[in-house]
Amino acid sequence: MIDDAPRLGFCCKFVLTPPPDGFKTLKAAREATLRMNLTNATMASLTALAPAARRAKIEGLVRHNLGALERQIAWVAGRPPIERLLRMASNVLPGYTHPVARDIYAEPEMRRLVEAGLARCGEAARAGSVRLSFHPGPFCVIASRNPAASENGIAEFEYHAELMALLGYGDGWHPHGAHINIHVGARDPGTEGFRAALPRLSQTARDLITVENDENAFGLEAVLALADSVPVVLDLHHHWVESRGEYIAPDDPRVARVRESWRGVRPVAHVSVSRETVLPEHDPDALPDFVVLNEAGHSWRDLAAHSDMMWNRALNALVARHLAWADFEIEAKSKNLASDALSAELRREGAAAFPS
């Protein structure tokens, strides 16, 4: 299992820091950014290609994405121990579950390429003590009154589970802290529908799934109803919005229930903060007050939107306290720049707890 040292990290996309002398050209900047990030293609564009061109396009995308993922993992592995967490982008294998590409991925040569590339990535992550996760998009709903939506959602989740298995995380309960996080989804059938859908997943998928609270239909209390079956990911910002301003302390009884849901594996939590442009004059050393801000004219939607950086030092101090029991995925728009800055701030404030 992965060690219990505190970790935080960024989500999916790598934001490149320009070198001291800057990029020589815009093209160089774009190429450097592309090298570190996964890319994709629309199913319509793949469908429009002739079979040979389609296969070549998909193989090119897969080779690039496997290389980019390996580079991201290597970069994270080279960071201070507190930063060794990465939420991977979902588009590792573009079109994998779609009829336009399904047969291409089944070809032995393509299968060998995928298996070898993902095995290298997983080995690098474990060697570098990098904790990995996925967070499929909102369309990945495993329970719905619409049978087609459920089927598609389960197929999408199984795709992520297969990726995890090929990375080397396919055996047992959240090996090395690996997990695939989703939301409950539709209000109807709700948490009980979600629970009823779990047996439809493969064993590998059931051993990797987690569920998080949201700011809409399924707040923390609702999601905790699933804690006997699924690990709960506590999202501090979603809870702040849904509860109209509550900040949960590490000793809150609900945190104990979240921890228990992980069954001995170190939990993961999420954090973000309202956008800098929404609260430009706000004191960074004071926690935002949802009710006051809402009454001042800031809409629920504006307050829910994520910031570029983790600009609020008071919230960051709360994150530092929660790192005693959970790792954090930083859901800020500036990605690794935000998580790097937060890491540096926490290490300055508590060097003994968060070593370099």
Kindly list the domain boundaries of the chain, sorted by start residue. Answer: 34-82+94-128, 135-210, 213-356
Q: Where are the alpha helices (DSSP H) in 128-252?
A: 147-167, 190-197, 203-208, 220-224, 236-242
Q: Report pLDDT for 10.
A: 97
Per-residue pLDDT of the chain (356 residues; tens, 9 = 90+): 577 899 999 999 999 886 666 666 677 778 888 999 999 999 999 999 999 999 999 999 999 999 999 999 999 999 999 999 999 999 999 999 999 999 999 999 999 999 999 999 999 999 999 999 999 988 899 999 999 999 999 999 999 999 999 999 999 999 999 999 999 988 889 999 999 999 999 999 999 999 999 998 899 999 999 999 999 999 999 999 999 999 999 999 999 999 999 999 999 999 999 999 999 999 999 999 999 999 999 999 999 999 999 999 999 999 999 999 999 999 999 999 999 999 999 999 875 566 66
Longest dimension (CA), the chain: 61
Is residue 130 a contact partner of residue 8, using CB atoms and an 8 Å limit?
A: no
Strand partners, 233: 212
Q: Report pLDDT for 356.
A: 66
Is residue 223 a contact partner of residue 211, using CB atoms and an 8 Å limit?
A: yes
Q: Report pLDDT for 23.
A: 63
Is residue 330 a contact partner of residue 342, using CB atoms and an 8 Å limit?
A: yes
| SS3 of residue 210 by DSSP | strand
Q: Report pLDDT for 191.
A: 96
**Measured distance CA(315)–CA(323) in Å, rounded:** 12
List C-alpha distances in Å: 282 to 58, 248, 292, 308. Answer: 47, 21, 12, 15
Q: Report pLDDT for 352.
A: 59
